[in-house]
Structure 1
Amino acid sequence: MIDYLRIHVLWADGSVESQRIAEMISTHFDGLGMERDGVAYRIPVRFSSAPWAAGSTLPKPVDLTRAAHNAVVVLNDDFMFEQAAAWNDYLAETRAAITARGEVDIYIPFGSPGREAVPASDAARNTQYVRRDRWTQLTTPAARDKRLLLHVLVQIRRYLRTLKVDQRDEPLFVSHAKADGDTTARAIITYVQSPDNDVPLETFYDAMELNPGEDFQARFKEEIGRGTLIAIVSDVYDSRPWCVFELTTAKRHRRPIVLADINSVRISRTFPYGANLPRVRLSPAPGDDAWIDPLLAEAMSEGLRCDIFEAQARKALAGADALVLPRPPELFDIVDGDPPPNTILYPDPPLGDIEAELVQRAVAAIAPSARLLTLSEYSA
């Protein structure tokens, strides 16, 4: 079976720290984004480190044929530098194999934390490495892990966009209520935009980013309609019309959404269409920004899950008309807009009995001939 995407992590044998990072990457991608009924989307991760042949320090060549797309992550460090000649040839051959397959794979190299030189073949190609030596403000392994994960996630998502018609960078839209969510939202935007942080994301914050004379509602729709949305769910968020507008706009455009819950006292009314989404509980303290990278990684993970499901669904459909939902279907998806086509496709696993009964009743009333199927059911 050919996977849609595989991640290959390369590091020099003997580097305990690089092995730890590789295992962290594998654990993260073993369950990506939203989990339902104990099931989460898994992206296979393969390691290339242990010597393959007697007398060699190098691993087996990376097998790129087992996936439609591959992300090759290189962890350069002092161990790789000590074996520079051998690893230079190995990486040059890996790059050549990637090039031979056309524009279907991505190469994501990370520089050495100790500032050791990159392999000569990559230097000759002016290959940009992620500068881990600049992450001086990240003082714990957990903080550095989340920053590295964020880079991997963002670069894979950017690469997948090159396969689509719209290749513009995708903004991170931070939806919030001014009354009690502005401090948290502003902390995220300031953190991402700071030149002191190596966070490879674009952001959209609020009307202050608009030009005078712009139609702010139309601009919000445009930014949300091609972005990833983080909703700062505070005590009053669900009661604010503009927050409801932003959240439903993201759902209407089938965009990735993560709820960041900062509720402190009481939510007087829960907006029903804020359900059916991954939710992260936050307790940000003044002056502490350690929570931001994990939240961004969660949002990009959910985004990658949505990206891959959409690509797999479109391939399976082969041009057939269908409503493709990146999340389990709910009443909003069925009743919003025009009647759905004959096929409504959503991620596995199938809906539970209670959810399915409600949604099927709505489908029967609006589009009686429509079939509600998971991707595996449709493919079968």
Structure 2
Amino acid sequence: MTSTSSRHWLLPVLLTRKVDRTSSISDVNCLRLYETTRELRDQVFVNKILHRLFRHVTDDDSPLTVLLSHASTDGRGVALAVRKYLHECTDVGDFLDVHSIAAGERLVEAIDRAISASAFLAIVTDSYSSRGWCRHEVIRAKRELGPIVLLDGVEDCDERRSPYLGNIPVLRWKPDSPLVMERLLGLLLAESFRHRYFPRQVAWLSRLQRVDRPYYCLSRPPEPLTLLELRRRSGSVETDLTVVYPDPPLDSEETRLLHEFEPRMRLMTPTMLFSA
């Protein structure tokens, strides 16, 4: 995108190979949709916009990085296929265990550091939930309160689906499907952009509505593990804490259950917060 003012952006899109070299966009890196098949064109267009918006709301304009969490016994082929597509067809980076960890570096430290700086993709195959490393990565990602997407590659049976893989988008894996790859990328970008943008939106609305109560922002609806992490971060504060998550609101039954788990936290969406 090129900036035309402080509030507007221009994204040149080419539908054919022909371009006027004398035009004002002749030196701009355009989105070449003519290189994309018609089946993928809409999703690719959305993904390019999402990635540019994501980079716009980061401090250093850095591209998205995706951590590929997988079980090596039956998920490595899927992880390598996703990694290959990211390398060859997108401008998104990736983190894949031994490929991304320097020799001699401590595994836990390197993986935890990558989880805190990346979108987390759980590639769930038949053996995923039974692996200690995978459980560690999922719990760590949930405690980071960051963007998480589940790619469901179970072929036969998942005997113990992790209880910590809830409240996240799920996509079914299909081998050799560029459309699934682009849809997966779209979910990762949408979750990552929401994670960066939603707190800023709430802060802006708070200033606009002159709401000065303390709150925590979650980019996904709350659940027991995320409330446990917020309780840890808030320390021994005795007063009620407001947790703001995106609309729509949870239903009354789920809200009562979460309130039973953590009674001092008030769960609200922006609509609820700013209409109170």
TM-score w.r.t. structure 2 length?
A: 0.86
- Which residue is equivalent to 1:373? 268
Higher Cα Rg, which structure? 1
Q: 1:182 to 1:271 in 2, by over 3 A?
A: same
CA distance 1:224–1:320, shift in 2 (3 Å) = farther
Contact (CA 8 Å) 1:322, 1:344: kept in 2 or not? yes
Structure 2 residue aligned with 1:307: 196
Check the 8 A contact 2:63/2:91 in 1, yes or no. no
Question: Aligned runs of 1:1-380 on 2, under 5 Å?
Answer: 98-99=4-5, 102=6, 104-117=7-20, 120-123=23-26, 126-133=27-34, 135=35, 138=36, 140-161=37-58, 164=59, 167-194=61-88, 197=89, 199-285=90-176, 288-318=177-207, 321-336=214-229, 338=232, 340=234, 342-364=241-263, 368=264, 370-380=265-275
One-letter amino acid of the counterpart of residue 91, structure 2: P
Aligned-pair CA distance for 1:106: 2.9
How has the CA–CA distance of structure 1 residues 118 and 292 changed in structure 2, closer, same or farther, with 3 Å as cutoff?
farther
Indicate how the Cα distance of structure 1 residues 217 and 321 shifts in structure 2: closer, same or farther if over 3 A, else same: farther
Q: CA deviation at 1:167?
A: 4.6
1:267–1:119 Cα change, 3 Å? farther
Instruction: Identify if the C-alpha distance between structure 1 residues 347 and 113 changes in structure 2 by more than 3 Å, giving closer, same or farther.
Output: same
Relative to structure 1, is the Cα distance of residues 119 and 271 closer, same or farther in structure 2, using a 3 angstrom cutoff? farther
Unaligned runs of 5+ residues in structure 2 are: none
Cα deviation digits, residues 259-283 of structure 1 (max 9, x gap): 1111111111011110111111122
Q: Say whether the 8 Å CA contact 2:243–2:267 is kept in structure 1.
A: yes
Change beyond 3 A, Cα 1:128–1:351: same
State the Cα deviation string for residues 45-65 of structure 1 (Å, max 9, x = none).
Answer: xxxxxxxxxxxxxxxxxxxxx
- Cα 1:142–1:315 change in 2 (3 A) is same
Instruction: Give the deviation of 1:355 after TM superposition.
Output: 1.2
Structure 2: distance between partners of 1:186 and 1:280: 17
Q: 1:64 maps to what in 2?
A: none
TM-score (norm 1): 0.64
Amino acid at match of 2:173: L
The code of the aligned residue for 1:322 comes to Y
- Deviation digits for residues 11-32 of structure 1, max 9, x if unmatched? xxxxxxxxxxxxxxxxxxxxxx
Q: Which runs of 5+ in 1 are unaligned?
A: 1-70, 73-94
SS at match of 2:159: coil
Residue 339 to residue 131, structure 1, CA distance change in 2 (3 Å):
closer
How many percent identity over aligned positions?
26
Q: Could you say what secondary structure the match of 1:264 adopts?
A: coil
Residues 251 and 105 of structure 1, relative CA distance in 2, 3 Å threshold: farther
Alpha-carbon distance in structure 1 between the residues aligned to 2:22 and 2:196:
32
SS in structure 1 of the partner of residue 25 of structure 2: helix
**In structure 2, what is the Cα distance between the partners aligned to 1:343 and 1:290?**
40
Larger RCO: Structure 1 or Structure 2 (Cα < 8 Å, ≥ 6 residues apart)?
2
Q: Does structure 2 conserve the Cα–Cα contact (< 8 Å) formed by 1:170 and 1:226? A: no
Question: AA paired with 1:105?
Answer: H
Give the root-mean-square deviation of aligned CA atoms: 2.3
* Alignment check: 8 A CA contact 2:116 2:146 kept: yes
Q: Give, as a single letter, the amino acid of the residue that structure 2 aligns with 1:207.
A: V
| 1:347 positional shift | 1.3
2:33 partner letter: R
Question: Cα distance, 1:232 vs. partner?
Answer: 0.9
